[in-house]
């Protein structure tokens, strides 16, 4: 507030006295009302001065004296003075007082006359808290204004308060009217001044404390515009700071910026994002004012370019980015080019080229020609007789309805013919091919393929490689081709033709459960579940869960009975025979080849009855040898049958049933280890007869003979046929009308007869010591 008072002076002393008398006080005691009113006006001026600091100057700069006529327009506008003054004569003007700063008032002169109040139009003052002014305002002479450095836009606050802060260089500062919100300051009834008045006696004021820094504030994540295809994405600093503010007005910067997919690099104009694929992208970064840091997120998505045709014959060309192309009706030509494209040809005979990239292509209705191009493509021909080419990459191709031609191309492809009579070629790679319904021609090509004919009379070819072939329902022709192929026979009851081809091929009948009859030499595989089938070129046969009969040929074969009570004959060649689960019978051919026989689980029988010469079966070593059988490896058998020659059986700690057959057979029992047996070991000889012997340790036991046979035994064993005092004993038993001779022996001389031999019939046993 500026009060401009102009003095007046009359022409003579009388006029001067008359003027002076006009302003003389009428009361004896002067009123204190003007003094109180002046104190109130000066107090309000001082408070407004502190609440709204002006742009100050540095203390060391020279400041010219304040002149009211050079100041800005006052906030109060004079409406009517209520006074009239005569003009002054020349030379009568009073001397001009020394100018002073606003706010540096001095005590009032007690000679003031009663004032005349002026009508003013005032700007509404800011909200202030009431205070009581003292009558004595002499201390206002020591009031000092705030010294503010240029560009210091922070509103002054009380020193040491929690809201004290400093402005940052290069950032937006707070205006003089910007004050902390009610949430940022304590609530009390004490008036708060921007610059507390120092005491008059304080000659050494303390420096105000530096206010604490406040962290940047975020109002939520940032959502950036989506990006179409592989367009370049430049993210500016202002984009990332869109929802961030700093309460102190400090300059903000970004660091540790990361993206959930793709790559991002810093450039002079911002961050350049390199697209790596479609989908949502999350940008995570930190915002700091140099001291405090907050974490912020920004989101956007990478989407496809949209290219839409018409119902006519369109020619649509894509971009190098990921496109969404819709041909709609008509015979369209679509070249999607590079990128992971989504293509829909729509109705009509369309010609579609996917180009490089992992494309998804729908041909739609019509006779379409589709090339997937490089990349792992998904192709669907739709209805119609389509020609579909996967090309390079691991492609998935569906022929759908119609008589389609499908080529997988290079790569490990999945090809499905669908309904109709389809021709499917896997080409190079390990492909999966399904003909589905219809009379299909399926060719695996190079690689280890899985080919399934499905319903219909199909032709299934494996080609090169170790292929897995399944014929499916219908009268099928299956050819393994080159490589070690595996052919699974379907339970369709139809007459099929199976050819293993070149390599070691497997005929798999494991799906059967009622038993099959397989003869590799005759080239047949029959059964009520599989029908009457022709087979050739197989070296491995796997039986099913039923009681199977399997016969090998003259080649080197592997025969497995599987579950069930199977009967397996190896045939010629070096064979590997496994009975599997069940009580199996394995008949060894008299082929003089070295075979491997494994009875598997169950009570299994190894039959050497086809041998005309003697065989030696050593169950303790797992070997069987003879001129007719060669040197075989045996295991897992509980019953052994000899041939028509003089056979030699050697048994150990495992119980076994032996049938010597024709010839003078020797049954030798190896002594157990020198420890007590946990349980008796029971052996059985079902056809012990005259001429057979039982050898236990150094003793031979044989049936006593008389008359003309006695001379024969004497020539073999001598004339000293008598019982010995060795720990061998025998007895006779009768059970269920069956006579048995029981021989017991304590071979390790521990006082326990651990070896027991049962011989059918009532026998008289002679024990002699052998050489």
384 phi-psi bin (left φ>0, alpha ψ -120 to 50, beta other): left
H or E element that contains 21: helix 13-22
Residue 555 vs residues 560, 571, 572: alpha-carbon distances, Å: 15, 8, 6
Domain that holds residue 747: 666-769
Residue where a domain terminates, one of 149, 182, 212? 212
Average pLDDT over every residue of 113-124: 46
Q: With contact defined as beta carbons under 8 Å apart, do 463 and 481 qualify?
A: yes
* Domain presence at residue 279: yes
Average pLDDT over every residue of 242-262: 94
* Domain presence at residue 322: no
Instruction: Report pLDDT for 1.
Output: 42
Burial of 518 (C-beta count, 10 Å sphere; 0-12/13-18/19+): buried
237 and 176 inside one domain: no
Confidence of residue 141 (pLDDT cuts 50, 70, 90): very low
pLDDT tens string 372-387: 999 999 999 999 999 9
Average pLDDT over every residue of 110-120: 45
* Domain presence at residue 725: yes
Helices marked H in 673-753: 708-717
Instruction: Report pLDDT for 292.
Output: 95
190 and 228 inside one domain: no
3-state DSSP assignment of residue 532: strand
- 416 pLDDT above the threshold of 90: yes
Average pLDDT over every residue of 722-742: 64
Instruction: Report pLDDT for 24.
Output: 54
pLDDT tens string 302-324: 999 999 999 999 999 999 888 99
pLDDT tens string 217-241: 999 999 999 988 777 789 999 999 9
Instruction: Report pLDDT for 763.
Output: 57
18 and 163 inside one domain: yes
Residue where a domain terminates, one of 280, 302, 324? 302
Tokens of 543: 């039986």
Instruction: Report pLDDT for 100.
Output: 42
Q: What residue has token string 């040197």?
A: 631
Confidence of residue 670 (pLDDT cuts 50, 70, 90): confident
* Domain presence at residue 698: yes
* Domain presence at residue 343: no
Instruction: Report pLDDT for 281.
Output: 95
155 and 232 inside one domain: no
Confidence of residue 697 (pLDDT cuts 50, 70, 90): low
Average pLDDT over every residue of 113-131: 47
70 and 200 inside one domain: yes
Give dist(CA 140, CA 42) in Å, integer. Answer: 8
The most confident of 62-71, 272-281, 307-316, 728-737, by mean pLDDT: 307-316
Confidence of residue 716 (pLDDT cuts 50, 70, 90): very low
Give dist(CA 15, CA 393) in Å, integer. Answer: 118
* Domain presence at residue 49: yes
Higher pLDDT, 32 or 134: 32
H or E element that contains 119: strand 119-121
3-state DSSP assignment of residue 142: helix
Confidence of residue 711 (pLDDT cuts 50, 70, 90): very low
pLDDT tens string 578-626: 999 999 999 999 999 999 999 999 999 999 999 999 999 999 999 999 9
H or E element that contains 640: strand 639-641
Residues in the chain, how many?
771
Burial of 732 (C-beta count, 10 Å sphere; 0-12/13-18/19+): middle
The CATH number assigned to the domain holding 269 equals 2.60.40
Q: What residue has token string 């490689």?
A: 465
236 and 193 inside one domain: no
266 and 171 inside one domain: no
* Domain presence at residue 660: no
Give dist(CA 613, CA 258) in Å, integer. Answer: 85
Q: With contact defined as beta carbons under 8 Å apart, do 145 and 168 qualify?
A: no
Give dist(CA 193, CA 143) in Å, integer. Answer: 13
193 and 253 inside one domain: no
3-state DSSP assignment of residue 44: helix
Buried b (16+ CB within 10 A) or exposed e, 147-171: ebeeebbbbbbeeeeebbbebbeee
pLDDT tens string 526-576: 999 999 999 999 999 999 999 999 999 999 999 999 999 999 999 999 999
3-state DSSP assignment of residue 86: coil
Higher pLDDT, 297 or 60: 297
* Domain presence at residue 189: yes
Q: What residue has token string 């041939």?
A: 643
46 and 16 inside one domain: yes
3-state DSSP assignment of residue 281: strand
Higher pLDDT, 652 or 82: 652
63 and 181 inside one domain: yes
Average pLDDT over every residue of 442-462: 97
Residue 627 vs residues 147, 215, 608, 637, 691: alpha-carbon distances, Å: 124, 98, 12, 22, 22
Average pLDDT over every residue of 462-479: 96
Residue 406 vs residues 35, 169, 442, 448, 713: alpha-carbon distances, Å: 109, 70, 10, 18, 82
Tokens of 427: 């080409």
Residue where a domain terminates, one of 212, 247, 279? 212
Strands (E), 128-275: 217-218, 222-223, 227-228, 233-235, 244-245, 253-259, 263-267, 270-274
Instruction: Report pLDDT for 652.
Output: 87
Confidence of residue 74 (pLDDT cuts 50, 70, 90): very low
Number of domains in the chain: 3
Instruction: Report pLDDT for 84.
Output: 43
Higher pLDDT, 4 or 231: 231
In sequence order, what are the beta bridge partners of 527?
Answer: 531
Confidence of residue 689 (pLDDT cuts 50, 70, 90): confident
Average pLDDT over every residue of 635-641: 96
Give dist(CA 410, CA 432) in Å, integer. Answer: 13
Give dist(CA 428, CA 393) in Å, integer. Answer: 11
Higher pLDDT, 171 or 131: 131
66 and 197 inside one domain: yes
Average pLDDT over every residue of 322-347: 95
- 180 pLDDT above the threshold of 90: no
Say if pTM beats, i.e. exceeds, 0.75.
no
Give dist(CA 445, CA 465) in Å, integer. Answer: 8
Give dist(CA 719, CA 134) in Å, integer. Answer: 158
Tokens of 61: 């700069």
Confidence of residue 691 (pLDDT cuts 50, 70, 90): confident
* Beta strand pairing call for 233-235 and 693-696: unpaired
Averaged pLDDT of the chain: 78
Q: With contact defined as beta carbons under 8 Å apart, do 171 and 148 qualify?
A: no
3-state DSSP assignment of residue 412: coil
51 and 133 inside one domain: yes
């Amino acid at each position: 507030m500026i009060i401009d008072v102009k003095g007046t002076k009359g022409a003579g002393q009388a006029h001067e006295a008359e003027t002076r008398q006009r302003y003389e006080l009428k009361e004896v005691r002067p009123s204190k009302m003007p003094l109180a009113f002046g104190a109130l006006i000066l107090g309000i001026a001082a408070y407004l001065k502190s609440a709204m600091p002006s742009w100050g100057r540095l203390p060391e700069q020279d400041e010219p004296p304040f002149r009211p006529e050079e100041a800005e327009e006052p906030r109060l506008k004079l409406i009517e003075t209520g006074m009239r003054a005569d003009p002054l004569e020349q030379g009568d003007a009073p001397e001009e007082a020394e100018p002073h700063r606003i706010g540096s008032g001095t005590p009032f002169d007690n000679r003031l006359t009663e004032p005349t109040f002026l009508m003013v139009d005032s700007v509404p003052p800011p909200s202030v808290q009431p205070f009581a002014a003292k009558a004595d305002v002499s201390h206002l002479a020591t009031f000092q204004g705030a010294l503010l450095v240029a560009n210091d836009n922070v509103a002054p606050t009380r020193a040491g308060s929690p809201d004290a802060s400093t402005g940052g260089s290069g950032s937006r500062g707070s205006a003089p009217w910007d004050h902390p919100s009610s949430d940022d300051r304590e609530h009390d009834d004490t008036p708060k001044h921007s610059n507390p008045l120092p005491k008059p006696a304080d000659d050494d004021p303390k420096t105000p404390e530096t206010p604490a820094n406040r962290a940047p504030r975020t109002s939520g994540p940032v959502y950036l515009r989506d990006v179409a295809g592989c367009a370049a994405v430049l993210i500016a600093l202002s984009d990332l700071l869109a929802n961030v503010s700093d309460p102190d007005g400090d300059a903000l910067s970004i660091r540790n910026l990361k993206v959930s997919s793709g790559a991002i690099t810093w450039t002079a104009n911002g961050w350049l994002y390199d697209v790596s694929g479609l989908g949502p992208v999350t940008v995570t970064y930190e915002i700091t004012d140099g001291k405090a840091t907050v974490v912020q997120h920004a989101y956007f998505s990478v989407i496809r370019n949209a290219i839409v045709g018409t119902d006519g014959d369109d020619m649509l060309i894509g971009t190098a980015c990921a496109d969404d192309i819709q041909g709609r009706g008509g015979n369209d030509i679509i070249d999607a080019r590079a990128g992971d494209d989504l293509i829909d040809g729509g109705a009509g005979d369309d010609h579609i080229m996917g180009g490089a990239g992992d494309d998804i292509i729908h041909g739609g209705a019509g006779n379409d020609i589709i090339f997937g191009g490089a990349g792992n493509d998904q192709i669907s021909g739709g209805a119609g007789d389509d020609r579909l080419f996967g090309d390079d990459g691991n492609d998935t191709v569906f022929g759908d309805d119609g008589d389609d031609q499908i080529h997988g191309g290079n790569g490990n492809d999945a090809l499905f013919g669908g309904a109709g009579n389809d021709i499917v070629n896997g080409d190079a790679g390990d492909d999966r091919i399904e003909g589905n319904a219809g009379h299909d021609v399926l060719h695996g090509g190079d690689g280890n393929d899985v080919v399934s004919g499905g319903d219909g009379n199909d032709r299934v070819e494996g080609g090169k490689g170790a292929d897995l072939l399944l014929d499916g329902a219908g009268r099928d022709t299956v050819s393994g081709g080159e490589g070690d192929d595996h052919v699974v026979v379907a339970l369709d009851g139809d007459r099929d033709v199976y050819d293993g081809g070149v390599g070691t091929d497997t005929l798999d009948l494991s799906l059967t459960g009622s038993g099959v009859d397989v003869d590799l030499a005759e080239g047949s595989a029959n059964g009520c579940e599989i029908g009457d089938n022709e087979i050739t070129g197989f070296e491995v046969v796997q039986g099913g869960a039923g009681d199977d009969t399997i016969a090998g040929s003259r080649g080197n074969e592997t025969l497995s009975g599987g579950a069930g009570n199977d009967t397996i004959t190896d045939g010629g060649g070096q064979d590997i025979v496994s009975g599997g689960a069940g009580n199996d019978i394995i008949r060894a051919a008299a082929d003089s080849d070295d075979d491997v026989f494994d009875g598997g689980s169950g009570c299994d029988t190894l039959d050497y009855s086809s041998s005309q010469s003697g065989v030696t079966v050593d169950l303790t070593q797992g070997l069987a040898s003879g001129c007719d059988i060669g040197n075989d490896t045996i295991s897992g058998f509980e019953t052994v049958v000899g041939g028509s020659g003089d056979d030699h059986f050697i048994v150990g700690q495992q119980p076994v049933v032996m049938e010597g057959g024709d010839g003078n057979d020797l049954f030798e029992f190896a002594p157990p280890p020198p420890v007590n047996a946990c349980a008796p070991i029971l052996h059985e000889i079902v056809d012990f007869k005259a001429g057979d012997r039982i050898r236990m340790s150094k003793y031979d036991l044989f049936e006593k003979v008389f008359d003309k046979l006695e001379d024969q035994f004497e020539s073999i064993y001598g004339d000293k046929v008598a019982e010995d005092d060795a720990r061998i004993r025998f007895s006779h038993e009768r059970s269920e009308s069956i006579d048995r001779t029981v021989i017991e022996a304590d071979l390790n001389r521990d006082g326990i007869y651990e070896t027991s031999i049962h011989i059918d019939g009532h026998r008289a046993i002679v024990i002699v010591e052998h050489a």
